Structure 1
Amino acid sequence: MTAPLSADLRRRLVRAIEAGSSAREAARRFEVSPSAAIKLMQRLRETGSAAPARIGGYRRPLLAGHDALLRELTAAKPGITLAEIQTELTGRGIQAGSLSTVWSTLRRLGLRHKKSR
């Protein structure tokens, strides 16, 4: 993913366009894509600010809220495998995702899930 245009470049683009230059002319002058200049002006009209939108964000874990159930499953059967946990969750109507989702949730909770030999 590319980085947003710098605040200085954004200000210069806006000043050039507000001074009468077209968005495409300003984009050519400042060596950015025409769509970047056009979208910058759209953003300025819609929000009143030329600042970039926030990139990324927090995504809640898929199995958040099922901590007690996972603790119960691992305590009830010490040698339970990730696949068995996933099957158990799916059987209870919980979208478990992939095995790595189950593993990362168990790790976040500090639970061990090693198979006993």
Structure 2
Amino acid sequence: MSRPLSNDLRERVVRAVSGGESCRAVAARFGVAVSSVVKWSQRWRSTGSVAPGKMGGHRKRTLEPHRAFIEERIRQTPHLTLHKLKDELAARGVIVSHNAVWMFLRREGLRFKKNAVRP
């Protein structure tokens, strides 16, 4: 993901639009996209600032609060499948995909083998 353009450039673009130039002309002059000029102008009118919003971030892990339950279920039933565990979580009100369950187990180092005899 690229970095946001500088506030100085944004302010000059908004000043040019406020001065009466068209968005297309300002975009061509400053070498930015027309959509950026429009959005920066809208942001200036609504908030009084051209500063960029927050970029990126981390998603909250849905299964983290249910770690104890998942560990207990794996301990109780070692032959439990991902789909069955997903269904049990759904019964508790946690709706996730089977891939989300798999990624959680993998990330947390929780493993279960259907055949404990085989390595």
The answer as to 2:114 corresponding to 1:104 is no
Q: Identify the residue that residue 16 of structure 1 maps to in structure 2.
A: 16
Shift of 1:19: 4.0
Aligned residues: 116
Deviates more, 1:18-27 or 1:73-82: 18-27
Shift of 1:3: 5.4
Instruction: Provide the identity percentage.
Output: 47
**C-alpha distance in 2 between matches for 1:35 and 1:55:** 18
Q: Which consecutive unaligned segments of at least 5 residues does structure 2 have?
A: none
**C-alpha distance in 1 between matches for 2:98 and 2:3:** 33
Q: Identify the residue that residue 49 of structure 1 maps to in structure 2.
A: 49
Q: Identify the residue that residue 69 of structure 2 maps to in structure 1.
A: 69
**C-alpha distance in 2 between matches for 1:12 and 1:42:** 14
Q: SS where residue 59 of structure 1 aligns?
A: coil
Shift of 1:44: 1.6
Residues 62-91 of structure 1: per-residue CA shift (max 9 Å, x gap): 223211110110110123221221122223
Q: SS where residue 64 of structure 2 aligns?
A: coil
Is the Cα–Cα contact under 8 Å of residues 81 and 114 in structure 1 kept in the other structure? no
Is the Cα–Cα contact under 8 Å of residues 79 and 113 in structure 1 kept in the other structure? yes
Q: Which consecutive unaligned segments of at least 5 residues does structure 1 have?
A: none
Shift of 1:52: 1.3
**C-alpha distance in 1 between matches for 2:7 and 2:112:** 49
What root-mean-square deviation, in Å, do the aligned CA atoms of Structure 1 and Structure 2 show?
2.4
Deviates more, 1:9-18 or 1:75-84: 9-18
- Larger RCO of the pair (alpha carbons < 8 Å, separation 6+): 1
The answer as to 2:54 corresponding to 1:39 is no
Q: SS where residue 32 of structure 2 aligns?
A: coil
Is the Cα–Cα contact under 8 Å of residues 23 and 37 in structure 1 kept in the other structure? yes
Q: Identify the residue that residue 90 of structure 1 maps to in structure 2.
A: 90
TM-score (norm 1): 0.77
TM-score (norm 2): 0.76
Q: SS where residue 51 of structure 2 aligns?
A: coil
